[in-house]
Amino acid sequence: MNEARGKRVAILVDEQYQDLEVWYPFYRLREAGVRVMLVGTSAAIDYRGRYGYPARVEKRVEEVQARLFDGILVPGGFAPDFMRRNPKSVEFVRAAHDAGKVIASICHGPWVLISAGIVRGRRMTCFSAIKDDVVNAGAAYTDEAVVIDGNIITSRKPDDLPEFCLRLIEALARPPDAQG
């Protein structure tokens, strides 16, 4: 039986998101029976990925509450630089983290986790270009495809998506008090 079935995950989206890091998890999670919602982090409803793939969000971050989701996914690309400028996006991630929800982030996505103030003392990975940012925010960086520390799951790049999605689905299937 798939214990992730029926869980709810918000995937944050903004301009120039990394196309594969939104759509690969989107369909993989849906395949596992997870209810997935694209949530925009700015005023727009329609966004274009870094490579031009369109995404229409169901809601904007101002219209959702972290308590309604079992997990949040922050993809990479250039979008996290826009996401972290919106205080509502940052608060959404912080509130989900504080409630023990699964926080999954790949590539440049950890920038949002840094802005949310949730990485200090954590073990994590990211795209190599933001390694210094992660370390300077107080996290212990490790160059692995997927790193899980408590309720935070991080990954480096699109090549890591198969394992990243598998670990995310496994985390969603665990009871909230069994994270990590």
Sorted by where each starts, the structural domains of the chain and their CATH numbers stand as 8-175 (3.40.50.880)
108 part of the active site: yes
The token duo for 14 is 């903004």
**Residue 179 confidence class, pLDDT cut points 50, 70, 90:** low
Catalytic residue among 84, 97, 101, 108: 108
Residue 146: partners with Cβ closer than 8 Å, 6 or more residues away:
125, 153, 154, 155, 160, 163, 164, 167
pTM (two decimals): 0.95
pLDDT tens-place string over residues 93-147: 999 999 999 999 999 999 999 999 999 999 999 999 999 999 999 999 999 999 9
Structure tokens at 100: 């023990």
CA distance 98 to 66: 10
Mean pLDDT (the chain) is 95
Question: Helix, strand, coil % (nearest 5) of the chain?
Answer: 40, 25, 35
